[in-house]
Amino acid sequence: MVQAQPTGAQNVAGEAPMAASSLIRWGGLVKWGALGALLAAIAWTVSGIIAFVLVHPPASNMGPMGSLSWYLIESSDAIAEVGMMVAVVGLHARQTPNYGRLGTAGSIVAFVGTALAFLSTVLWLLTHNGNGIVGLLFMGGLLAWLVGFPILGVATLRAGVLPRWCGLLLVAWLVYLPLVLFLLTFHGEARVLFGLMWLALGYALWSQRSTAVQRSSRVS
């Protein structure tokens, strides 16, 4: 006679593969998040280098609207913002559920802010008009950055999943984002600074990309 397996045991046996597959999926998002951060790092750095090489005088920021330097810098910024959105997803995937509702809220606000900045950049490239809805989207994105990334940083510090310097980098947006906005008026250093920050965050995510998969093997 075949003895029926207890219901509780059946549930546990069924839940284990589901938990493992979920962790593997999150691990894939962490990897893509690391690649997104790398893309953001490269694009911000390229944007800064173009500003150094092509924009004269440096105080003109991006050159005349419609110029080659303007198109190249704004296009690089748009690519960087796409990478940032993917990186935020990766940061969330690596730390959920450890960093709780605070981290989730910070991730959502930071993602929405980056999406607004991306839309404003694309619309500016298409319309050559930085006023009206384009300006509102840009200001909304900046405000969301100032709120979302520091909250995400505090949650990162509390969760203890990523190195503490990752949380400190995100919290520091409250300080260096206004400084970067000021520097952008004069030089390309600010964009390169953004690039270095996302390079560091991408390294942290890449170094932990396999952790979720390792956890899944223990669950299974």
Q: Domain map of the chain by residue range?
A: 31-219
Q: Do 61 and 204 meet the contact criterion of CB atoms below 8 Å apart?
A: no
Per-residue pLDDT, 82: 97
Beta-carbon contacts of 106 under 8 Å, excluding residues fewer than 6 positions away, are 148, 149, 150, 151, 152, 153, 154, 155
Please write the tens of the pLDDT for every residue from 46-62.
998 888 887 755 545 56
Cα(first)–Cα(last) distance of the chain, in Å?
29
Please give the Cα distance from 35 to 161 (Å, whole number): 19
pLDDT at residue 34 greater than cutoff 80: yes
pLDDT digits (tens, 9 = 90+) for 113-163: 999 999 999 999 998 887 899 999 999 999 999 999 999 999 999 999 999
- Is 31-219 CATH 2.40.30? no
Does residue 156 contact residue 95 with C-beta atoms inside 8 Å?
A: yes
